[in-house]
Amino acid sequence: MEDTSNGTHQLATFGGGCFWCLEAVLQRIEGVLSVTSGYAAGTTPHPTYEQVCTGETGHAEVVQVAFDPSMITYDELLDLFWQMHDPTTLNRQGADVGTQYRSIILTVNEAQKSSAERSRKKAQKNFHDPIVTEIRPLDTFWKAEDYHQNYYNSHTNVGYCRMVISPKLRKLKLE
């Protein structure tokens, strides 16, 4: 995929379990301009949530983050990425199980790839088990259905939000 950064913002794409969790965390970070939930790294064009949930599309639930590099760097986002989820569990985050929940960093250029690889190596020192996070080029990002966007902020009292996302935000001192 072509590098779509411009003079005012850059893009980063991460997967680490349910995209609602990553979205909720990243929306609270200064310098993050927008967070879009979607699907990437699979083979099915224009996938739906129902298709991705089958595990047959190859897609992961991901978020695409537009950020202002004068306020937060890609490397700082990577540091946060390792704290937002458990990168040592293959195709699983908590009760969410399947390839769509895998840990993945999708890069748009060589600089991001190098940063991600360097960051993974540095982060490994903080984990007993080996990090299983994939790092690969972003081919196509498919925006998820509208009801997945801004999920936590719109559904704070839903069970999943109260039991999974809220504790994560508290742990990261974002709520």
Catalytic residue set: 18
The CA distance from 60 to 156, in Å, is 24
Number of C-beta neighbours around residue 27 at 10 A: 17
Residue 70 tokens, joined: 């004068």
Residue 46 tokens, joined: 């224009």
CB within 8 A of 19, min separation 6: which ones?
37, 38, 61, 62, 63, 144, 148
Q: Are the beta carbons of 54 and 63 closer than 8 angstroms?
A: no
